[in-house]
Amino acid sequence: MSQLKTTATPLILLLAVASTLGEMEPSEEEARIIGGQFAAPGQFPHQVSLQLKGRHHCGGSLISETMIVTAAHCTRGQSPSQMMAIVGTNDLSAGNGQTFSIAQFIIHPQYNPQSQDFDMSLIRLSSPVPMGGSVKTIQLAESDANYAADTMATISGFGAINQNLQLPNRLKFAQVQLWSRDFCNSQNIPGLTDRMVCAGHPSGQVSSCQGDSGGPLTVDGKLFGVVSWGFGCGAKGRPAMYTYVGALRSWIKQNANV
């Protein structure tokens, strides 16, 4: 297996995935369809689109009427007044989502922007989100939650769908495999810590991409990971990294009361 680079690349801007990066340029059709499906209305009622100055910036997950979980790199250096949260839609161009202003960012105090360790942030909304229909909270994985290698997880997001970082406006989702610590460890992936889990497809054809940062990785209907960083979108043999919710469960409880 080729050596992985050590620089963590946040997935700031899903589900675009193509063949091995740098080896083969995907056709337009491949880039559009490989790596996921478009979500049906209400299929992911916890999904959030974080909008920065009116444009999709990152994903997030609604965990209470007033709190969202996302990645720290999505909020670091940003102002709550410049960001809005849209919930309850699978199509950002349809105008049927609910928009909420943001009161506060709570970035994990140990977040390291160089390594992306502790890459988690809580967002407190200015007003409660009415629950029901296409808007629901997601349950968090417990602090001791763990799964066997190759367990299937679900990723979802409004992120890029091709190498040109085209944003689709429509929510996509895909199934990915959790990777075992036999490979997903700091010896094989320099910089990986106990606050990170790996997921993807060995072929590289299913992964998160720019625009999916902060979005959910779910297992058994619970939030198990938060899209954090990777080595490009869908590179062969290289998984995407997700902030491990279980490792930061007590911090979330302390700051979000969830």
Considering the domain architecture, whether residues 95 and 150 belong to the same structural domain is answered as no
CATH of the domain at 216: 2.40.10.10
**pLDDT at residue 104 greater than cutoff 80:** yes
Dist CA 199 CA 212 (whole Å): 14
Average pLDDT over the chain, rounded to whole?
83
> How does DSSP classify residue 183?
T
Q: Strand, coil or helix: what is 110?
A: coil
| Predicted pLDDT at 29 | 27
Active-site annotation holder among 49, 56, 119, 228: 119
Report the relative pairing of strands 196-200 and 172-178 from DSSP bridges: antiparallel
Considering the domain architecture, whether residues 132 and 146 belong to the same structural domain is answered as no
Q: Strand, coil or helix: what is 188?
A: coil
Considering the domain architecture, whether residues 90 and 119 belong to the same structural domain is answered as yes
| 230 and 215 Cβ atoms separated by less than 8 Å | no
| 256 and 248 Cβ atoms separated by less than 8 Å | no
Considering the domain architecture, whether residues 99 and 154 belong to the same structural domain is answered as no
Q: Give the domain range for residue 99.
A: 47-137+250-256
Annotated catalytic residue 64: no
Annotated catalytic residue 213: yes
| Predicted pLDDT at 224 | 97
Residues 6+ apart with CB under 8 A from 181: none
Considering the domain architecture, whether residues 177 and 131 belong to the same structural domain is answered as no
Pinpoint the alpha helices (H) of 46-117. 72-75
Active-site annotation holder among 19, 49, 213, 228: 213
Annotated catalytic residue 126: no
Active-site annotation holder among 46, 73, 108, 201: 73
How does pLDDT run across 173-226, given as a tens digit for each residue? 988 899 988 888 888 888 899 999 999 876 655 566 666 889 999 999 999 999
